[in-house]
Structure 1
Amino acid sequence: MKLTFATWVADLSARGHGVLAASHAVPIQLWLREPGDYGSVLHFLARGTTVTLRRYAATDLTTLVLRSECDCEEHRTAGAGSRTVLTPGAVPVDEVVLDGAALFGWTGFEAGLLDVPTAAELFAELRHELDGRAADVA
């Protein structure tokens, strides 16, 4: 079976990760809540010549309530939409960065063109490195 963004996200969900709505396939960007009641938040991003995995504290997420411009009674009672976002000023607890220019000779925007299987492999490698750092600190 060919790995697509949908199947990758489904696999991550099956392993207990909460996949947040801001995740998308092109360019690859994942927002994940790690398993557990107080799971931290992972942000995987492929842009330019770098691929980055950041870990944020669970408390760095907040809900942004989206209201209509008019904010009239009819729209308020219909219910406002919401979006999960990072709290302004949130700083990663840890991060690992793959420098594609140094490792692969990327010169401009190659990270943004990664296919899903390659991105999934890089995510696994960066996650392993990030988890290793956390174990060293503990």
Structure 2
Amino acid sequence: MNLPALADLFASHGLRLLPGSYPVPVELLVQLPDTTIARFSARGTTLRLRTYSPDALTTITIPAECGCGDHHPQTGPARVTLSRYAVPLEERVIDGELAHGWQHHEAGLLRLADAVPHFFTLLDQLRARELVGVA
């Protein structure tokens, strides 16, 4: 699975894969149907899904290597990312050590196709909480 195929899969679920997503190690920025931003990461032995308000997204410009403007433009490409000041609204975690017996950095070694089911598991946990009513 590659990012374009994942974008198609997400679109079929009403989700939008955003720029700034990476397949290795897996780090995904996803816009949910309510415009909330979800960040999924697989690092160490942990799989983590955090949600952020839509205004947590920002664009940064990567400066050219030399920055002099003679050889290269002074500004480089723009990258979409979360603001350094963004505070998660919610977080769901799968502890790979407890759930799968991982010991070192197995989450970081997951291929995109192997990480996506964990993304949907954590997303379902978020949605399950939303469906609980108060009497």
Q: What range is the shorter-chain TM-score in?
A: 0.7 to 0.9
RMSD, matched Cα: 2.5
TM-score, normalising length from structure 1? 0.79
Q: Which residue of 2 aligns with 1:28?
A: 26
- Cα pair 2:7 2:16 within 8 Å, conserved: no
The equivalences for 1:95-114 within 5 A come to: 95-114=91-110
Number of paired residues? 130
Q: Deviations over 1:71-104 (max 9, x none)?
A: 57x936xx85311121122111001000010111
Give the whole-Å Cα distance in 2 for the aligned partners of 1:56 and 1:128: 16
Give the whole-Å Cα distance in 2 for the aligned partners of 1:67 and 1:28: 25
Give the whole-Å Cα distance in 2 for the aligned partners of 1:101 and 1:5: 27
* Structure (1/2) with the larger strand percentage: 2
Q: Which residue of 2 aligns with 1:82?
A: 78
Percent identity over the alignment is: 32
Q: Which structure 1 residue ranges, 5 or more long, are not aligned?
A: none
Give the whole-Å Cα distance in 1 for the aligned partners of 2:59 and 2:36: 16
* Structure (1/2) with the larger helix percentage: 1
- Cα pair 2:42 2:108 within 8 Å, conserved: yes
Give the whole-Å Cα distance in 2 for the aligned partners of 1:108 and 1:19: 28
- Cα pair 2:61 2:76 within 8 Å, conserved: yes
TM-score, normalising length from structure 2? 0.80
Distance change in 2, residues 1:67/1:107 (3 Å): closer
> 1:55 and 2:90 equivalent?
no
Q: Deviations over 1:27-77 (max 9, x none)?
A: 2111112235xx0111111111110011011011112233431257x936x
Superposition deviation, residue 14 in structure 1: 4.4
